[in-house]
Amino acid sequence: MLSNGSAQLVRSRELARTAADSATDVLHPLITITRGLRRLAAAGRRRWAETPKERRGALLFLVASVFLVVALVPYGPLLAAITLMAAAAWQGRERAAAAPDGPDESQTERLKSLYEALLPYFSSAEDPEPLYAHVGAWDKAFPTYAFDAGGRISHLVVRYPAYFADGEADARARIEHLLAAKSGRGREYHFMWDEEGNQLTVSVLMPLAVDIAAQRFVTAPGEIVLGFTDHTRVQRTLPLTCGEQRRDVPPVIWRTGLRSTEPHLLALGRPGSGTSTLLRSIALQALQHGDVVIVDGGGTGEYACLTGRDGVLAVECGLAGVLASLEWAAHETERRLIAINRAHQAGHPPPDDTKRPLWILLDRPTAFTHLAAADDRKDPQPLLQVPLRHGRLANVTVVVADQLDSLETLGEPVRHHTRARVVLGPAAAGQLESVLGAPPHTTPVDEVPPGRGYARLGTGPVHRLQVPATPHPYDDATTDTHRQAVLDLLPPRTTPADGEKVPQPTDGEPELAEPVPEPASEPEPAEPEPVPVLTKPTKT
């Protein structure tokens, strides 16, 4: 009986709820009109209360005249009733909640504190009408503002007086540091100074994508993709594949070759910032159209995957091999210059062996400087003077990557002829300006992912940069997706001469390519893999 009673009670409630919903749907127009009439009556009462007493008589006479005219006009009462119902329906409609016209209390306090913090920098005692004063209004100084979901400032336009020294770098730096600190740390802000309009626009930059792996980029010969940046800084995009998605991302492209104004590159960063990743990415792109000589000063085998590949002339980790390779590179540059000069004098095009680009990639060359000084041998860095000075005409490109603290140890030719600069990892504003030649328009942060930094090509603007993920494929910490992406870009191994064998991966080492079949003749005794020796050309 209890169960039957509870079931009947539930059924009765459902029936009552259904009947109420049906009645609401049927009577919805009447409810809307009634709500509108109530709002019109309330508005009429407010209007009557706001009217002064001496004008109420005239208002009553006007209302009575309107009623009289409506009553005398044919079909006047009917038209008046229809108009009243339409107005009531319009006033009684359900309205969405209106957004607040101004900031809430917490946002107002944040803007007030920011206004008071800028007061010492933008105020002057001689100003008759100061924009920034202790009793001033912040809404005049901040005409445009926006907040994110967390209540922090995401966009702000700051007006400042005309006598502020906005042309001085120190004055700008103080204001930018203050705004970044007061608006919330841990984010990158972009500052755009309008000196003509005396306005500063502050906007929060979105983090750059870190999930872009190494791949074949749609570029012309001689174009190297250093990384990717913001949409507002460049006017070109590249189609990329990110997992199963395809999207267009703005790149930072470094153009090399005969018509390049920045033929050589210098990349600096702290340990673990991604300079070796940048060199691997450049090497994989350069091998599509040229030859590469790699100097590994770290000695950790970061470029072992390139050993024995087509187009890789040498991967040197020892001082003797580095000296031999760089001497050969200097002589090769001279030989190309002589051949090109003779062809120009004879009215012929340059020889084909001078058109193939030659890349010299050096990772931490300052390590060999200390080794050479300890062994009383020649420093390898002076050997880069000829490729750096004349490499553009001979299709020779030099890329140097080293630690940020070793900038003073680099030779004068390296610092003077590398006009394309990259700084990766956390760095102070003064260090960025000293390396790039100009301060960035964003605030550097203390914690950044590997491969994040800034790039500047010659005298161009400073770009935010995110290097594509190009890890060492033999590293155990590398994900399978990124490892396979690098392995797919590696060129095949060099075809061995008769009687030689391609070095096969040992037990536990991942196989990078299909093994080359051995000749049908009897196998010769295994010999150690010969070290590639670069033959010096005879100097004319």
**How far from 19 is each of 31, 256, 329, 481, CA to CA, in Å?**
16, 79, 92, 60
C-alpha torsion 23→29→33→36, nearest 10: 90
Measure the CA angle with vertex 379, ends 376 and 382; round to 5°: 150
- Using the structure block, give the residue that is written with the tokens 């999930």: 211
- Using the structure block, give the residue that is written with the tokens 């900031």: 103
Residue 406 known to bind ligand: no
Residue 273 known to bind ligand: yes
Residue 274 known to bind ligand: yes
**How far from 123 is each of 135, 174, 295, 389, CA to CA, in Å?**
12, 15, 56, 52
Phi, psi of 76 (to 5 degrees): -65, -50
Terminal-residue alpha carbon distance, the chain: 116
**Per the structure block, which two tokens stand in for 463?**
């770009």
Give the number of C-alpha atoms closer than 13 A to the C-alpha of residue 72, restricted to the C-beta side: 6
* Pairing label, strands 189-194, 463-466: unpaired
What element of type H or E holds 266?
strand 265-269
Beta strands in 133-212 (DSSP E): 144-147, 153-159, 189-194, 199-204
Residue 276 known to bind ligand: yes
Q: 364 — alpha (psi -120 to 50), left (phi > 0) or beta? A: left
What element of type H or E holds 359?
strand 358-363
**Per the structure block, which two tokens stand in for 478?**
């590398």
Do 111 and 51 touch, CB atoms closer than 8 A?
no
The amino acid that residue 198 corresponds to is N
Q: Which residues pair with 240 in a beta bridge?
A: 247
**How far from 486 is each of 230, 285, 286, 452, CA to CA, in Å?**
25, 11, 14, 19
Residue 269 known to bind ligand: yes
Residue 271 known to bind ligand: yes
Measure the CA angle with vertex 224, ends 240 and 446; round to 5°: 80
Residue ranges for the known binding site for ATP are: 269-276
- Residue numbers in the known binding site are 269-276
